[in-house]
Amino acid sequence: MRISVIGCGYLGAVHAAAMASIGHEVVGVDVDEEKVRRLSRGSAPFFEPELDSLLTAGIASGSLRFSVDPREARDATVHFISVGTPQQAGSDAADLTHLDGAVSALMAAVKDGDIVVGKSTVPVGTAERMAQRLRGTGATLVWNPEFLREGWAVKDTVDPDRLVVGVPVLGDDAAASLPGTPTPEGERAAAVLREVFAPAIATGTPFLVTDYATAELVKVAANAFLATKISFINAMAEIAESTGADVVQLADALGRDARIGHRFLGAGIGFGGGCLPKDIRAFTARAEELGRGDAVRFLREVDEINLRRRDRPVALATEALSGSVHGRRITVLGAAFKPHSDDVRDSPGLHIAARLHGLGAHVTVTDPAALENARRAHPELSYVADRDHALRGAEVVLVVTEWDDYRHALDPERAGALVSVKTVIDGRNCLDPSSWRTAGWDYYGMGRPSVRSRAAVRSRAALDDRAVSGALV
Ligand code: UGA
């Protein structure tokens, strides 16, 4: 099929390359000339495993090209919109400027019978508005949210967990229709998308047809659920820190209940990136607009728990350095919001590094992929590409991104010979505490007991005991 992809950021570039890889003829359109130049050379403007080879193969075979001219979309019959919907400045709501711009550009390119497919994450109700804008062009709008994860974007696009397709449905007044029954054009649009995604469907990927609002909600609800799961375990980490319990053992035991599961129960410094934080805020803002703020008020708490976790490594570093980080040397391992990515948007680790710098520490940051982006976001910090060089002379080592380079490839004996004080704060609970302790390190995890926290718990128990005995007397 002939496909256009409007917006070639993270989502669009991967989608365009993936669609070409499954046999479609694809043009990717973006307003950013430099991005289009790079993509046309087969080089992704961001770090994503497997993407460069997919781009190169598509371009070489002639099935993939990129352009700044939206008129290039005219030959296509299916048009994906994959522009960003960032958080508005000064508000929690999503900024739909790029989406409105993409629809305007498409209105001049689409023809009767074309399918326009929204993939961007949007506030519920947006698809209906976009469908009204497209009325009169003869094109049908469908909403097909994307669930890809950075670092796994190619796999998630080619072989997704599920495909959700929101289509126009019959109105309540339509005689004898069940609510949510697709209109004839909705049926046709769903059939076209079945053809687009035929290889994934053939391998068993569920294809779920819904109305617009449900499709839009599936996306934000999924991200809200994932964020809630992370904040839940981080809330347990806070309780563990006051009781001497170990949140890693707790998560392991909880996850063995098949109804709960292990994934996204990783306690640490919390979630960041360009999706979960802004999506839960935009969801809350939209629910408030709809007069249903109460239904998702807990997401404000989820956000607060998440942001509060960033205080913990700062407090631990301050404690380890006897009350002040001022003038002390702290090495931060990681800058990306998660491994296998060079994305530093709302990166908890980078935020912590900047706070420590603000408190007067000499902070050195290293990361296998995200140094350039980190430098642009926080030019005030010192950056060192080589991990071992970065470790030299550190008085505290802080792990904020669980790259393999730190979790598996960093030997505590070897690291111990490089630093000046053997204190490590594991912001992602990704190191093995016993091997670090055996190598002579003071190890601090998130929500995990340390010698110091155990002593505090024991003295609190003694006080409680005295209070209880006193009350009994
Ligand atoms: C997230 C969703 O997982 C995707 O399904 C969705 O498509 C995407 O947002 C999006 O809306 O575009 P992503 O932002 O790539 O994907 O990252 P995640 O893998 O979800 O991780 C988000 C953050 O949570 C990271 O900072 C990660 O370190 C943190 N995290 C994750 C934890 O703190 N603990 C965990 O157990 C898991």
User: Could you tell me whether strands 362-366 and 329-333 are parallel, antiparallel, or unpaired per DSSP bridges?
Assistant: parallel
Domain match, 241 and 326 both? no
Q: Closest residue (by CA) to atom 1 of ligand 1?
A: 149
Rounded distance between C-alpha atoms, residue 383 and residue 363, angstroms: 9
Q: For residue 457, what pLDDT is reported?
A: 72
Q: How far is the CA of 462 from the centre of ligand 1 (A)?
A: 42
Rounded distance between C-alpha atoms, residue 468 and residue 186, angstroms: 69
Q: For residue 234, what pLDDT is reported?
A: 98
Domain match, 276 and 419 both? no
Rounded distance between C-alpha atoms, residue 7 and residue 82, angstroms: 5
Q: What is the CATH number of the domain that holds 294?
A: 1.10.1040.10
Domain match, 283 and 141 both? no
* DSSP conformation letters of 271-298: --SSSHHHHHHHHHHHHHHTT-GGGGTH
Residue ending a domain, choose from 187, 210, 233: 210
Q: How far is the CA of 267 from the centre of ligand 1 (A)?
A: 13
The CA angle 15-16-20, to the nearest 5 degrees, is: 115
- The best mutation among 14, 223, 309, 407 to test binding of ligand 1, ranked by most ligand atoms within 8 Å of the C-beta, falls on 223
Q: For residue 468, what pLDDT is reported?
A: 73
Domain match, 328 and 384 both? yes
Domain match, 187 and 316 both? no
Q: What is the CATH number of the domain that holds 156?
A: 3.40.50.720
Q: For residue 455, what pLDDT is reported?
A: 72
Active site residues: 275
Q: Closest residue (by CA) to atom 17 of ligand 1?
A: 149
Q: For residue 437, what pLDDT is reported?
A: 97
Instruction: Identify the residues whose C-beta falls under 6 Å from ligand 1.
Output: 121, 146-150, 223, 226, 230, 264-266, 268, 270-273, 275-276, 279, 337-338
Residue ending a domain, choose from 288, 308, 328: 308
Atom of ligand 1 nearest to the CA of 274: 14
State the residue range of the domain holding 468: 311-472
Q: For residue 131, what pLDDT is reported?
A: 96
- The best mutation among 276, 283, 308 to test binding of ligand 1, ranked by most ligand atoms within 8 Å of the C-beta, falls on 276
C-beta of residue 337 within 8 angstroms of C-beta of residue 344: yes
What DSSP state is assigned to residue 75? G
Q: Closest residue (by CA) to atom 20 of ligand 1?
A: 149
Domain match, 333 and 414 both? yes
Q: How far is the CA of 382 from the centre of ligand 1 (A)?
A: 27
- The best mutation among 155, 271, 307, 351 to test binding of ligand 1, ranked by most ligand atoms within 8 Å of the C-beta, falls on 271
Number of continuous H segments (helices) and E segments (strands) in the chain: 20, 14
Q: How far is the CA of 457 from the centre of ligand 1 (A)?
A: 33
Terminal Cα-to-Cα distance of the chain (whole angstroms): 84
Q: Closest residue (by CA) to atom 29 of ligand 1?
A: 271
Q: How far is the CA of 372 from the centre of ligand 1 (A)?
A: 21
Domain match, 161 and 303 both? no
**Mean pLDDT per 10-residue interval, the chain, length 473 residues:** 96 97 97 97 93 96 97 97 93 94 94 96 95 95 96 94 96 69 96 98 97 97 98 98 97 98 98 96 96 98 98 98 98 97 97 98 98 97 98 98 96 98 98 97 95 72 75 61
* DSSP conformation letters of 156-205: HHHS-S-EEEE--B--TTSTTPPTTPBPHHHHHHHHHHHHHTHHHHHTT-
CB atoms within 10 A of CB 374: 26
Domain match, 264 and 376 both? no
Q: The pTM is what? A: 0.94
Atom of ligand 1 nearest to the CA of 230: 34
Q: Closest residue (by CA) to atom 13 of ligand 1?
A: 149
* C-alpha to C-alpha distances, 51 to 42, 89, 150, 218, 370, nearest whole angstrom: 9, 31, 11, 26, 17
CA 258 to chain CA centroid, Å, is 24
Q: Closest Cα to residue 277, out of 346, 349, 368, 198?
A: 346
Q: For residue 213, what pLDDT is reported?
A: 97
Q: How far is the CA of 277 from the centre of ligand 1 (A)?
A: 10
Q: How far is the CA of 428 from the centre of ligand 1 (A)?
A: 14
C-beta of residue 168 within 8 angstroms of C-beta of residue 212: yes
Residue ending a domain, choose from 308, 323, 342: 308
Domain match, 303 and 396 both? no
| Token representation of residue 355 | 């706070």
Rounded distance between C-alpha atoms, residue 470 and residue 462, angstroms: 12
* DSSP conformation letters of 6-50: E--SHHHHHHHHHHHHTT-EEEEE-S-HHHHHHHHTT--SS--TT
Atom of ligand 1 nearest to the CA of 266: 36
User: Could you tell me whether strands 396-399 and 382-383 are parallel, antiparallel, or unpaired per DSSP bridges?
Assistant: unpaired
C-beta of residue 64 within 8 angstroms of C-beta of residue 17: yes
- The best mutation among 121, 150, 275 to test binding of ligand 1, ranked by most ligand atoms within 8 Å of the C-beta, falls on 275
The CA angle 145-151-157, to the nearest 5 degrees, is: 35
Rounded distance between C-alpha atoms, residue 430 and residue 447, angstroms: 13
Atom of ligand 1 nearest to the CA of 428: 33
Q: How many domains does the chain have?
A: 3
Domain match, 76 and 187 both? yes
Domain match, 301 and 394 both? no
Rounded distance between C-alpha atoms, residue 30 and residue 20, angstroms: 17
Rounded distance between C-alpha atoms, residue 238 and residue 267, angstroms: 10
Domain match, 98 and 226 both? no
